[in-house]
Structure 1
């Protein structure tokens, strides 16, 4: 992993505080694929996957979710500060390891490998070779996902797109385009092509404008912007972004008008929408 992001203590603390968890439907699809079944009810099911490896786990958002559906979960990340912020549970083990070297695990020992919005940071070919070494044959599952973010206000959604495509454009690297394209440009590099399937999962959440902007600040693009232009420049960029969002929602609201102060407007609730692109494949 050649991109040392998500490593500074201040950033990893914010990452834990403001990054969101993933929808239950995502885990339903993973378990249904693993157990070769349909219409699985997570609340009623006593089926659990024996051992999962969550690669690039960060501060444990997906790792903790997986712990409800797996007997044992190993979360790995290249950032020690990320792992320090990860919640502890009896059936979770965290290790500071990189995706390109999974030799600390026995061959054919893992039932499920998950990668939550991290694949684009890896040396993909090397990672897939490592996965093939540690994933159990005859049914071991590799699960990879990323997501798109949109807003319920058309003008606000355009401002969000402009932030990523224009305002932060100078901070793009060769990995950025891969995730913006939802991994479509590297689909042919995925292993186990004969078993591969894809799900699109729609998910939405009510958040305040401030909560949403705090989440945006955890983006790697914002971290790169901070390093390149300084803390004050990033603060100014996000303040402008916040004010522009507030104006959009003020214009579309009957109870908030443009004369309100920004603090009141930034507390306004908004609907944030995610489309999760979930790729599932099995080792035969």
Structure 2
């Protein structure tokens, strides 16, 4: 999986959304401390950059060196590569820090790829007690317009046989994700990430789907020329900038 995401780092950088300031304001508001945060599976740093405005130090880790190379640099963000698979206590101590040293742990569109029992054990050790917070979120199928969304719905339906098992948590909007923490109340009903996009930007997002690449390995092209043509027709002029809306689904908990 690390190799797969690394190979797609360029389309990730173009097509994937950044997260709304409202999300980071919410996370800062429920955290008692604002010293250190660990962003796990940071990719090209989409969440880390937002967190850096509210926390003194952001440790942002990923298994893909190519993704980290494309991340935006900030003085208070440390990008660090980790090994794939469950992390040992020794590696976590070296890369992240000592027990009870974190005010917040986040994972944006990534926790479903992690070995959850191991990850949650690290979270329980690393968060300050009391006051530490863990927040994970994902986004589901983007929304553009009725015509574009209708074409994408057809692609989505054909993609279902090729979904990785882990992506079922995303399809269920993280409602079924194991999350052994005390829920934080008064969460917003819905948050959205938005991205102004050209048609090429939107296609870059679609080409970053892991499901698309899994289907191709099985000999199935989910974006054949006729589908691309349908998307072009639904979008309008290629230079037209549309707002692509990604519904966010958020779980926040405390120890």
Structure 1 length-normalised TM: 0.78
Q: How far is the alpha carbon of 1:21 from its aligned partner?
A: 0.8
Structure-to-structure mapping, 1:3-82, within 5 angstroms = 5-8=4-7, 11-35=8-32, 49-82=34-67
Matches of 2:12 and 2:35, distance apart in 1:
29
The match for 2:137 among 135, 140, 145 is 145
SS of structure 1 residue aligned to 2:56? strand
SS of structure 1 residue aligned to 2:5? coil
Q: How far is the alpha carbon of 1:14 from its aligned partner?
A: 2.4
Matches of 1:68 and 1:129, distance apart in 2:
28
Q: How far is the alpha carbon of 1:82 from its aligned partner?
A: 1.4
Matches of 1:33 and 1:238, distance apart in 2:
46
Matches of 1:194 and 1:218, distance apart in 2:
32
1:202 counterpart residue number: 192
The match for 2:81 among 85, 96, 102 is 96
Matches of 2:183 and 2:19, distance apart in 1:
27
Gaps of 5+ in 2: none
Deviations 1:38-80 (A, max 9, x none): xxxxxxxxxx810110000011111122111111100111112
The match for 1:125 among 89, 111, 117 is 117
Matches of 1:13 and 1:203, distance apart in 2:
20
Matches of 2:35 and 2:224, distance apart in 1:
43
Gaps of 5+ in 1: 36-47, 251-264
SS of structure 2 residue aligned to 1:65? helix
Deviations 1:1-49 (A, max 9, x none): x7753022xx2122223322111111111111114xxxxxxxxxxxx81
The match for 1:173 among 164, 167, 171 is 164
1:164 counterpart residue number: 156
What is the total number of aligned residue pairs between the two structures? 247
Q: Structure 1 residues 206, 194: CA separation in 2 closer, same or farther (over 3 Å shift)? A: closer
Matches of 1:72 and 1:99, distance apart in 2:
25
User: Displaced runs of 4+ in structure 1, greater than 6 A?
Assistant: none
Preserved CA contact (<8 Å) 1:206 1:270: yes
Q: How far is the alpha carbon of 1:247 from its aligned partner?
A: 2.0
Preserved CA contact (<8 Å) 1:207 1:271: yes
Q: Structure 1 residues 212, 249: CA separation in 2 closer, same or farther (over 3 Å shift)? A: closer
Structure-to-structure mapping, 1:183-198, within 5 angstroms = 183-186=174-177, 189-193=178-182, 195=184, 198=187
Matches of 1:219 and 1:151, distance apart in 2:
16
Structure 2 length-normalised TM: 0.86
Preserved CA contact (<8 Å) 2:17 2:195: no
Preserved CA contact (<8 Å) 2:133 2:254: yes
Matches of 1:223 and 1:12, distance apart in 2:
14
Matches of 2:202 and 2:141, distance apart in 1:
11
Q: Structure 1 residues 32, 136: CA separation in 2 closer, same or farther (over 3 Å shift)? A: same
1:217 corresponds to 2:217 = no
Q: How far is the alpha carbon of 1:221 from its aligned partner?
A: 1.7
SS of structure 1 residue aligned to 2:141? strand
1:134 counterpart residue number: 126
Matches of 1:87 and 1:204, distance apart in 2:
19
Matches of 1:197 and 1:141, distance apart in 2:
15
